[in-house]
Amino acid sequence: MESRFWVKSYDYHVPNTLRYPKLIVPELLNGPVSTYPDKAAINFFGSTITYWQLKQQVLRFANALAELGVEKGERVGVQLPTCPQYVIAYYAILSRGAIVVNMNPLYTPDEIKGIIAETGMTSLITFDTVLPNIRAVCQSVDLKRVIVTAMTDFIEGLPKATAQSLQLEKGWHHYSTLLDNCSNTKRSRVLVLPDDPAVLQFTGGTTGTPKGATLTHANIIAATIQAAVWGSSTDTLQPPDRRVVMGIMPLFHVYGNICVMNYALIKCATQILVPRFNADELMDIISKVEYISFFPCVPTIISAMINHPKAQEINLAKKIGLFNSGAAPIPTEMIDQVKDMGILFTEGWGMSETTSLGISNPIFGAKKQGSIGVPFPDMDVKLVDVEEGKNEVKLGEPGEIVIKGPLVMKGYWNRPKETEEQLVDGWLYTGDVAVQDEDGYISIVDRKKDMVIAGGYNIYPREIDEVLFQHPKIADAVAVGLTDEYRGETIKAYVVLKEGQSATEEEIIKFCKEKLAIYKAPKSVEFRTSLPKSAVGKILRKVLRAEEEEKKKTKK
């Protein structure tokens, strides 16, 4: 098959190949700082930080970390929602040559301990709301440094926290105090190279065990440049002082990290940071903004916005330049609704292991129904037979997506066996089964893995299975991902109780929420006397999934 035959489907401005400067990630700040120093880099509930101020704060925080003894190669956990503190900490850590370990604020103590054990993390930057979890973790785990912020510390007009008001343990540090007490704005003298690890982005696997995808500075620079070039059909028509990116996606998620935070820097855009998704709050924020040039999000958020009672009142369509949907499949009906409103729309596909990007629909060019688009520049993609994973399938035949190029991770942190299994001669085996047409457009038809994508979050049912089996009343159980109009997919648990036991749906869900991040907990529970199994005793999730789909058809 002709190599990269899909480039014929690119938008007019996208080249077949790109050049990637030998930068490290914090150097992305240099462009906007030198050209638009007084432009707002961040807008957080109306409080702004200019690009000049952001650079100064990054330098000061990097030097504060140096004074605490943070050295090159150390793993520093960042457990923060989308907020200015995340942005400052991220670039400061990378300036020191340390490695950012992205952590979801919803992690339970057990999940946090697992990440610490996996990475050998020495430091953690976290925030006031989750302190009970961190205190529980630190009773059994020794962290050299814990740095705590309060969400209100970066909102003008609200009271500022202190170490005392947060009742921090002896030896813990208050984020803003560290920043305020360091006036040193000299650049770090640590030698950091493009191939050095920058971020550990945790993903799951068929076993549900978390794995840290090691993304290098070069990976992140390549992803940022590819996103910038792919999207330039619209933003080159706008002067830089009008460019605004909506930051509703979590920055600890690889999608928000690349397509909000790093993308905003390379485009000299203001990023409006929103730490949580609430439809009414988001629409209120949008109503006060003149224009949003780029709005990366997930189908759940798009659905809530376009169907919101305020959508017409605030003239939503006129406020948004480009919607980008990622992290989960989007229904065709929803795409049509967005287009009917007059909003430019595109969607794409990527993984933690591919630095968020990989395949996308052109912005101006043809978009094919049900397709995730064509591979990005410099990315090689082939579909191979699902059984052996060796032979390339013919066009139109289903095969597993394998991908190679500058976006593909270095490997899994301290997991040589898993790295060897999934990365073969530079080719990443994705576990997604798809078909490709003569123009290079790829459409996903199935997943080899049982991973569920609910509201943009990756969920691994096996992890939920293991929690269900911890319940003293449960004899047998399985978690299954089912299609859901709002979240894309949702988790349902099928449970067989031990003889003589009784339990309620609420009891099982509550038990799961105590041991799992809330988005992983089942949304519904069905009690059964038995579960469908194969001849070797493996529970057949696909049978349960098919039963649910049949029920939905019958109801219609």
**Average pLDDT rounded to a whole number, residues 119-145:** 95
- Structure confidence at residue 522 (pLDDT): 92
Predicted confidence at residue 38, as pLDDT, reads 97
Q: How far is Cα 149 from Cα 76, in angstroms, rounded to an integer? A: 15
Percent of the chain topping pLDDT 70: 95
Average pLDDT over residues 80-94: 97
For residues 340 and 428, the model is more confident at 428
Residue 293 gets the label, from left (phi > 0), alpha (psi -120 to 50) or beta, of alpha
pLDDT tier at 2 (50, 70, 90 boundaries)? Answer: low
User: DSSP per residue over 237-289, as a string?
Assistant: TS-GGG-EEEE-S-TTSHHHIIIIIIHHHHTTPEEEE-SS--HHHHHHHHHT-
* Average pLDDT, integer, range 290-305: 86
* pLDDT at residue 30 greater than cutoff 80: yes
% of the chain residues with pLDDT over 90: 64
Please tell me what DSSP assigns to residue 88. H
Answer yes or no: are the C-beta atoms of 43 and 87 closer than 8 Å: no
Cβ burial, residue 135 (10 Å; 0-12/13-18/19+): middle
pLDDT of 209 strictly over 80: no
pLDDT given at position 550:
82
Does position 187 have pLDDT exceeding 50, yes or no? yes
What local confidence, expressed as pLDDT, does residue 330 receive?
A: 67
pLDDT of residue 204: 53
Q: Is the pLDDT of residue 206 over 50?
A: no
Is CATH 3.30.300.30 correct for 452-555?
Answer: yes
Domain ranges of the chain: 49-192, 452-555
First and final CA of the chain: distance in angstroms?
Answer: 43
What is the gyration radius of the CA atoms in the chain, in angstroms? 23
The answer on pLDDT for 165 being more than 80 is yes
Confidence label for 446 from pLDDT (cuts 50, 70 and 90):
low
49-192 placed in CATH 3.40.50.980: yes
Which pLDDT belongs to residue 343?
84
Residue 208 pLDDT greater than 60, yes or no: no
Give me 409's structure tokens. 């991770």
As a whole number of angstroms, the distance between CA 134 and CA 12 comes to: 50
Q: Which residue has the higher pLDDT, 389 or 480?
A: 480
More confident of the two residues 78 and 160: 78
Token digits of residue 123: 């430091």
Domain 49-192 and domain 452-555 have a common topology: no
pLDDT at 464 over 60: yes
What mean pLDDT is predicted for residues 105-134? 93
Q: Can you tell me the mean pLDDT for 22-43?
A: 96
pLDDT of residue 56: 98
pLDDT at 458 over 90: no
- Alpha carbon 33 to chain centroid, angstroms: 26
Checking if the pLDDT of 393 tops 60, the result is yes
pTM of the model: 0.82
- pLDDT (average), residues 37-41: 97
Q: With contact defined as beta carbons under 8 Å apart, do 410 and 462 qualify?
A: no
**The pLDDT of residue 445 is above 90:** no
CA 492 to chain centroid: 23
Confidence band, pLDDT 50/70/90 cuts, at residue 536: very low
> pLDDT (tens digit, 9 = 90+) per residue, 236-265?
778 888 899 999 999 999 999 999 999 999
pLDDT in tens, 307-344: 888 988 898 888 998 888 877 666 676 778 888 888 88
Taking the CA atoms of residue 504, residue 506, residue 507 and residue 511 in that order, the dihedral angle to the nearest 10 degrees is 150
**What value does the mean pLDDT of the chain take?**
90
